[in-house]
Structure formats: structure tokens, C-alpha cells
Structure 1
Amino acid sequence: MLSELLQGTDTGGLLIIQDSSSCTGRHLLKSFINAALNREENIHVLGFEVSEEELGEGLNTSSPQRLCFHNAYSDPLGWTDHLTFTVHQFCLDELTHLVKQTSQSKPATLVIDSLSWILRHLSPPAVCKTLQQLKRGGAVRTIIGLLHADMHQKGTVGSVCHLATSVINVAPGMKGDEAVAKITKRSKSGKVMQCEEIFSIKDDLTVIVQSKPSHLEHKQTDPEEQQMDPTANLTFNLRLSDTERKAKEKLALPFVFSKAKKTALLHSGQGSGRILYEPDANDDYDQEDPDDDLDV
């Protein structure tokens, strides 16, 4: 599934690369940028965390006019008078004007490096609103954002990822040059697909995907994770032997009528339905006053 996402066949979506301090996702982000450049797409990068020189290392620079880097790294809060992109410009009108001013007629791919920097200075509802509006707008073809999950609360991460059409959670692999990609993809019909893949990135930012995670084959099961039998240490037996099971099957339940009993009830004989009372010797029954025992 990672190879399909790198091909960029889905338009009008939001792709979130979710990483942590244990495994960075910027190399995978650069692989997506390079793949879009190879498809001759126009790329707009909002760079908050690294400089343009650092981000451009290894990228396809054969057509530099198709890669537009908006410098939000040197002055992200607008404290100086330099004409740079600031975090306060992260809204629909500013981004639409920025993309249309420097792009050709066809929609461009917007890369945000990173959403975590923006979420630290803008409220999560405002960021989610802008992302949702960009998805519906016509100036941006696709949005790719890097999100550091361990920098935010789970509710904030969940809200941003809920808007995404695809989420790639990057985690460390078994080997030094490998990483694990846990992918969640939502189709337009609402179907959710999930998979886990091992991948590595070459020096030219080419992604090599292994179809089957290697660590799942060699992972030993933790004794605490083994499924325990809840009936193992009971003082009584919950299971039946073969003899007990046969005896149980032959036992007639009180609410199950036999064939003979059904026939007797359905075809009652002569005189049925009569109530006969035989007084007991101890009964104090007065023929003249039948209600003598009542306190009236």
C-alpha cells in the first residue's frame, strides 16, 4: 500500500506521516516530494523545521521551478521585517493566494513540514478547519503533512488524523536501515484499509517496500501475552466427559413433553374437566351455613 501512495493516484486527499522521537518521518516525506517531482507536479513546501538547503538534499532538481519552498524556518513568527512565510498565514485565503501566485494553472501539491509546529502556535480547531477547506478547494491537489505524535495530546493527534484520507505511522524496524509503516487508508466509499509494511529508503530517496514484515516472522511470543485458559485452576470441572454428555442428552427435561404425554393432554377421555372434592375428616363443614368460617 505504501507504493500505491507514493504513486500519487489519489487526488484531493490529505496524507499524514506520523512519527515520533524514536523514528523520524522526514526522510519518507522527502521521498513523497521526490516522487511528485518525478511525476512533473508542482510542489509547494511550507518549511518550518528545516532550512531549504537541508530539505533539498537528494531531491530531483532537474526542474527547480516546479519546487517552491516557502521559508518559514528563519522567521516563523514574523518578528523581523523579512518577507517570509509565518505561521499566522496558515489560513485558506493566504495559502490559496500563495499557491496561485507562484503556480501554473493546474493544482499543486502542498507539503507541510511540519504540522506540529503549526499546532504549537495555532489552536487545533483552526488548523483542522484550514486543512478541511484546503481539501475542498481547487488550488491544492493533495496535502502531505508531517506530524510528530509525541508532541501533542492524543485528542489533537486523533482530530488531525480523522481528517486524513491516509495516515502512515512510522516506527523503528528490526534493522538500522529499516522502518515499519503502519498504514490506514480511507476510500471515498468509506471503506477503511489497514496494513503494516517494512520499508527502507535509499540515498536517492527511493523507497524499497517489503510485502511482509520480517519482524513478525521472528518475533517470539511473550509468556504474559500467551492466551491463558481461564478454567485451568478451578476447583470444579466445567467440562463433561463422553459418558456424562450421553447421559445429559438422554435426560428428559421437565418442560419437554413426551409423545405419550402430548397425546394424553390433547385427547382427554370422558369426564375430563370436572372438579371432584372429597371432604377430609377434619373439615368443619356446616351444611346450613357454608360461609360459617368467614369472619363476616
Structure 2
Amino acid sequence: MLTELLQGADAGGFVIIQDSIRCSGRHLLKSFINAALHREEAVHVLGFEVDEEELKDGVKGSAIDRVHFHNAYTDPLGWTDHPAFTVHQFCLEELTHLVKQSSHSRPATLVIDSLSWILRHRSPTAVCKTLHQLRKGGAVRAIIALLHADMHQKGTEGSVCHLATSVITIAPGMNGDQAVAKITKRSKSGKVMQDEEIFNINEDFTVIVQSKLGPKNTPTEEKEVDPTANLTFNLRLSDTERKAKEKLALPFVFSKEKKTALLHSGPGSGRILYEPDSNDDYDQEDPDDDLDV
């Protein structure tokens, strides 16, 4: 999947390279720049963390003319009289103007080095709004941004990554020249794909994917515990006991013959007859007349 992202098949994509102090993602960022130049695209770089010479190191030949470095490294906050580019210019109008004034006939890719610097001096809401407008406005073909995950709170990091079509989280590998890329890619249909690959970067910033890690081992499902396993008595019936139980007539279940015998009394059956005598104080109209109520 990393090779597919480098090929840049999706127009309007927004790729975040998320690194930390344990493993830098700037070499992979340069790999994306070289890949865009190989596709004959123009590349606009907002450079906040390294100067132009260091960023262009490794870019050779005529392709270097298509790299437009907007220097925010010298004076990022605009303290001098004539700053080249400042963090306050990170808005749709300014960025569209930068791309158009040095535009080629080829599509442009915007590279942000790094988005963390901007987030430290602009509100996350304003940054996310500008990124969303850039993606939808069509001023650039794609956006590639470097983000230092250990510099931000989880909410800020999550908000920015939610806008991205792909997030590549870099971690150190087993060997010194290896790194692990944990990739989350969202398709236009909303489907989320994840992958994990071991890769290394050559001196010319070409990426070699060495292997794909298999799916993470998920814990095996716990076996259902039988609550009757250790009882001192048996709750289950054998086949013989079950058959005997089915044949047993329950005392509260009347058979047809028993119902007939109870409902239709035969000759000689006992009866209780009551004949009130003259001393009984019984009122037919008020049977409860003798009660003191």
C-alpha cells in the first residue's frame, strides 16, 4: 500500500506522514517529493523546519526546477520587514496565489514541512478549515504533510488526521535502516483499509518495501465456562431418566378420565344438604346482616 500511495494514483488526496522523536518521517517526505517530480508534477513546499538547501538535497537534474520552496524557515512569524512566508499566510487565498504565480502546465502537489509548526501557532479549527478548502478547491492536486504526533494532544491530532485520505504512522524497525509504516487509507466510498509494512529508503530516496506484516494476533476467544461442571450433584438426565420423566403423570395435570369423574358425579356419591331451622337468623335479602360492620 505504501508503494501505491507513492505512485499518487488518487487526485485530491491528503496524505499525512505521522512521525515521532523515535523515528523521523522527513526522509519519507522527500520520497513523496521525488515521486511527484517523477510524475512530472510541480511541487510547492512550505518549509518551516529545514532550509531550502537541506530539503532539496537528493533532488537532481532538471526536476529541481519544478520544486518551489516557500521559505518559512528564516522568519516563520514575520518579525522582519520582508518575510518570505509566514505562518499567518496559511490560508486558502494566499496558498492559491503562491501556486498560481509559479504555476506550470503540470498539476501541483503541496508539501507541508511541517504541519506541526503551523498547529503550534494557529488554531486547529483554522488549520483544518484551510486544509479542507485546499482539498475541495482544486488549487493543488494533492497535499503531503509531515506531522509530529508527540507534539500535540490526541484531540488535535485526531481532528487533522480525520481530514486525511491516508495516514502513514512511522515507527522504528528491528534494524537501523528499517522502519515500519502503519497505513490507514480511506477510499471515496468510505471504506477503511489498513496495512503494516517494513521498508527502507535508499540514498536516492526511493522506497523499498521489504515485507508486509501479517494481521495482528487477536486474542483467542475464551471457551464458554460450564457453571455445572464442578457441582456435587447432577443436573442433567440420562436418556433412561428422561423417558421415565416424560411418562410420569404430574399430580396437577388431570387426564380426560379424571376430569369426567370429577365433573359428573355418579350414583351413590356423597352430598351435603343444609336445611336452616327456625333459630337461624338468615335474611335472604341481606346475607351479611348478622355481621357487625
Amino acid at match of 1:27: H
Residue segments in structure 2 that go unaligned for 5+ positions in a row: 265-270, 273-279
Contact 2:24 2:170 in 1 (8 A): yes
Amino acid at match of 1:15: V
Amino acid at match of 2:114: S
Match of 1:148 in 2: 148
Q: What does 1:269-288 align with in structure 2 at a 5 Å threshold?
A: 269-270=259-260, 288=282
Match of 2:183, SS state, is: strand
C-alpha distance after superposition, 1:25-53 (max 9, x if no partner): 00000001011111111100000000111
RMSD of aligned residue pairs (Cα, Å): 3.7
Matched, 1:77 2:77: yes
Match of 2:19 in 1: 19
Q: Describe the shift of the 1:260–1:21 C-alpha distance in structure 2 as closer, same or farther (beyond 3 A).
A: same
Contact 2:179 2:198 in 1 (8 A): yes
Q: Which has more radius of gyration?
A: 2
Q: Describe the shift of the 1:129–1:287 C-alpha distance in structure 2 as closer, same or farther (beyond 3 A).
A: farther
Deviation at 1:119, TM superposition (A): 0.4
Deviation at 1:228, TM superposition (A): 11
Deviation at 1:139, TM superposition (A): 1.2
Matched, 1:124 2:124: yes
Match of 1:115 in 2: 115
Deviation at 1:211, TM superposition (A): 3.1
Q: What does 1:215-234 align with in structure 2 at a 5 Å threshold?
A: none
Deviation at 1:60, TM superposition (A): 3.8
Contact 1:19 1:147 in 2 (8 A): yes
Residue segments in structure 1 that go unaligned for 5+ positions in a row: 280-285
Contact 1:16 1:167 in 2 (8 A): yes
Match of 1:21, SS state, is: coil
Instruction: State the alpha-carbon separation in 1 of the partners of residues 10 and 255 from structure 2.
Output: 71
Instruction: State the alpha-carbon separation in 2 of the partners of residues 294 and 108 from structure 1.
Output: 105
Q: Describe the shift of the 1:49–1:294 C-alpha distance in structure 2 as closer, same or farther (beyond 3 A).
A: farther
Matched, 1:188 2:182: no
Q: Describe the shift of the 1:136–1:228 C-alpha distance in structure 2 as closer, same or farther (beyond 3 A).
A: closer
Instruction: State the alpha-carbon separation in 2 of the partners of residues 61 and 266 from structure 1.
Output: 103
Identical aligned residues as a percent? 65
Amino acid at match of 1:71: N
Q: Describe the shift of the 1:293–1:249 C-alpha distance in structure 2 as closer, same or farther (beyond 3 A).
A: farther
Match of 2:268 in 1: none
Deviation at 1:247, TM superposition (A): 2.1
Q: Describe the shift of the 1:245–1:75 C-alpha distance in structure 2 as closer, same or farther (beyond 3 A).
A: same
Contact 1:37 1:60 in 2 (8 A): no
C-alpha distance after superposition, 1:90-137 (max 9, x if no partner): 000000011011012443100000000000110000000000000001
Contact 1:231 1:238 in 2 (8 A): no
Instruction: State the alpha-carbon separation in 2 of the partners of residues 228 and 190 from structure 1.
Output: 29
Deviation at 1:13, TM superposition (A): 1.6
Amino acid at match of 1:35: A
Match of 1:167 in 2: 167
Instruction: State the aligned residue count.
Output: 271
Amino acid at match of 1:68: H
Q: Describe the shift of the 1:238–1:291 C-alpha distance in structure 2 as closer, same or farther (beyond 3 A).
A: same
Contact 2:165 2:186 in 1 (8 A): yes
Instruction: State the alpha-carbon separation in 2 of the partners of residues 273 and 98 from structure 1.
Output: 103
Deviation at 1:145, TM superposition (A): 0.3
Q: Of 229, 232, 244, which residue of structure 2 is paired with 1:240?
A: 229
Contact 2:12 2:142 in 1 (8 A): yes
C-alpha distance after superposition, 1:234-287 (max 9, x if no partner): xxx73538x9575278887xxx998988xx77978547789xxx99xxxxxx89
Contact 1:42 1:66 in 2 (8 A): yes
Contact 1:22 1:171 in 2 (8 A): yes
Higher alpha-carbon deviation: 62-71 or 173-182 = 62-71
Contact 1:38 1:60 in 2 (8 A): no
Match of 1:88 in 2: 88
TM-score of the pair, normalised by structure 1: 0.79
Matched, 1:58 2:31: no
